[in-house]
């Protein structure tokens, strides 16, 4: 259809030899079609990604092309089909435009409630329309977190524990779905940290918390906001079981950031957390010695060597 419209627009001129063009009269609908296609193309996710699905605000300009096409059909084409004089008011044309206006009016009437209130209904309707949209899942989960979980967060009584746990599980469903669709979605990654901590407050399962952190780090190793929140949480967990905490820092800091990414600063960040958590961890000290050797930091190399020599025979991990 687009190619046909281009051809009609390019040939929309009076023939120089006086021969009647059989396609004359089609340049107006061709222009309308081109106008619609060109204006909708920039929000179609074909040429430029908008990270969201089609919705009414993206159809404002394309609707101009549709309206012009409808007016042409009612004023020129429909009378010709009915063998009536063209470009003159006719009941059929008025009825057609009235019907279209009525249908669109009804749709606007049913849609207006979604735009009212605090905006929560708009977020919910987006999820209903696009259940496989990573943005819709994230924003719905984030909305529930702000509107419902934050109100319950301060109440740590045992009586409300089941409700808090059920809500956190529900929130995780939407954020996990968002990350399943797009593992690199930064906003969902940052929100997942908050939800993982909320779940940890309820079940105190440190191993589960650290496994979730590890998955997030490997999927989004340079999400600054997420890493800032994650590191703050890890600092607050100082004094945790070294078999879990330090081993997590070894996997993330040494095995991932150092060996796979060769990110020396990232590796040192996590390994130093482990060292502060349990200073006698031989594995972590050796990891840091390797990292500082790669950095060429003589002072830190000497410090790590001194720590290794000071460990008791057979001491440390």
pLDDT, tens digit, 9 for 90 and up, residues 4-49: 666 666 666 555 555 555 555 678 888 888 888 888 888 877 776 6
Do 148 and 160 touch, CB atoms closer than 8 A? no
Q: Does residue 188 lie within any of the structural domains? A: yes
User: 77, 63, 61: which is closest to 29 by C-alpha?
Assistant: 77
Residue 176 is assigned to a structural domain of this protein: yes
Query: What is the pLDDT confidence band of residue 219, given thresholds at 50, 70 and 90?
Result: very high
Of the three residues 217, 237, 257, the one that is the final residue of a domain is 237
Final residue of a structural domain among 196, 211, 237 = 237
Please provide the average confidence, as pLDDT, over all residues in the chain: 86
Residue that wins the pLDDT comparison between 26 and 71: 71
183 and 262 in a single domain? The answer is: no
Which pLDDT belongs to residue 10? 67
Distance set, CA 86 to CA 71, 79, 248, 264 (Å): 12, 5, 78, 77
Same domain, 177 and 218: yes
Judge if 150 and 232 occupy the same domain: yes
69 part of a folded domain: yes
Torsion of CA 113, 119, 125, 131, to 10 degrees: 180
Q: Do 16 and 81 reside in the same domain of the chain? A: yes
Q: What is the pTM of this model?
A: 0.74
The arithmetic mean of pLDDT across residues 91-115, rounded, is 84
Residue 242 within any structural domain of the chain: no
Asked if 110 and 39 sit in the same domain, the reply is yes
Task: Provide the residue range defining the domain that includes 295.
Answer: 249-317
Residue 315 has pLDDT above 70, yes or no: no
> Considering only CA atoms, which of 273, 237, 239, 241 is closest in space to residue 257?
273
In a shared domain, residues 231 and 149: yes
Share of the chain above pLDDT 70, in %: 88
Mean pLDDT of the 57-73 span: 87
**pLDDT over threshold 90, residue 85:** no
Residues 250-267: tens digit of each pLDDT? 999 999 999 999 999 999
Read off the pLDDT band of 191 (50, 70, 90). very high
- pLDDT number for residue 18: 52
Are residue 154 and residue 91 in the same domain, yes or no?
A: no
Whether 162 is covered by a domain: the verdict is yes
Q: Of 44-48, 79-83, 276-280, 304-308, which gets the smallest average pLDDT? A: 44-48
DSSP-derived secondary structure for the chain: -HHHHHHHHHT-S--TT-PPPTTTT-HHHHHHHHHHHHHHHTTSSSSS--SS---GGGGTTHHHHHHHHHHHIIIIIHHHHTT--TTS--HHHHHHHHHHHHHHHHHHHHHHHHHSTTSHHHHHHHHHH-TT-HHHHHHHHHHHIIIIIHHHHT---GGGHHHHHHHHHHHHHHHHHHHHH-TT-HHHHHHHHHHHHHHHHHH--HHHHHHHHHHHHHH-TT-HHHHHHHHHHHHHTTT--HHHHHHHHIIIIIIIIIIIS--HHHHHHHHHHHHHH-TT-HHHHHHHHHHHHHHT-HHHHHHHHHHHHHSPTT---
- For residues 39 and 65, the answer to whether their CB atoms sit within 8 Å is yes
Residue 278 token pair: 């349990």
Residue 184: partners with Cβ closer than 8 Å, 6 or more residues away:
219, 220
Considering the domain boundaries, does residue 120 fall inside one?
no
pLDDT higher than threshold 70 for residue 141: yes
- CATH assignment of the domain containing 201: 1.25.40
Between residues 20 and 288, which one has the greater pLDDT?
Answer: 288
Closest CA to 220 of 256, 269, 172, 274: 256
How many independent structural domains does the chain possess?
3
């Amino acid at each position: 259809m687009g190619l046909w419209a281009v051809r009609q627009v390019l040939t929309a001129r009076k023939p120089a030899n006086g021969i009647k063009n059989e396609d004359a009269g089609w340049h107006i609908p061709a222009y309308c079609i081109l106008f619609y296609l060109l204006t909708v193309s920039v929000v179609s996710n074909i040429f430029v990604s908008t990270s969201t699905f089609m919705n009414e605000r993206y159809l404002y300009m394309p609707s101009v092309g549709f309206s012009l096409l409808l007016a042409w059909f009612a004023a020129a084409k429909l009378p010709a089909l009915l063998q009536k004089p063209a470009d003159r008011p006719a009941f059929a044309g008025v009825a057609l435009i009235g019907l279209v206006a009525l249908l669109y009016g009804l749709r606007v009437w049913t849609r207006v409630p979604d735009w009212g209130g605090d905006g929560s209904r708009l977020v919910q309707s987006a999820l209903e329309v696009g259940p496989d949209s990573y943005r819709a899942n994230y924003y719905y989960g984030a909305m529930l977190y702000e509107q419902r979980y934050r109100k319950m967060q301060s109440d740590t009584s045992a009586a409300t524990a089941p409700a808090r746990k059920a809500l956190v599980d529900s929130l995780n469903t939407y954020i996990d779905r968002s990350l399943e669709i797009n593992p690199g979605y930064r906003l969902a990654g940052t929100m997942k940290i908050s939800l993982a901590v909320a779940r940890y407050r309820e079940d105190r399962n440190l191993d589960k918390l650290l496994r979730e952190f590890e998955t997030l780090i490997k999927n989004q190793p340079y999400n600054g906001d997420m890493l800032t929140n994650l590191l703050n949480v890890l600092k607050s967990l100082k004094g945790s079981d070294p078999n879990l905490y330090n081993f997590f820092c070894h996997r993330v800091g040494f095995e991932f950031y150092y060996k796979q990414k060769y990110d020396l600063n990232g590796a040192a960040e996590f390994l130093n957390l482990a060292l502060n958590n349990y200073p006698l961890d031989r594995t972590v000290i050796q990891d840091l010695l390797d990292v500082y050797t790669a950095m060429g930091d003589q002072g830190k190399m000497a410090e790590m060597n001194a720590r290794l020599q000071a460990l008791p025979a057979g001491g440390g991990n």
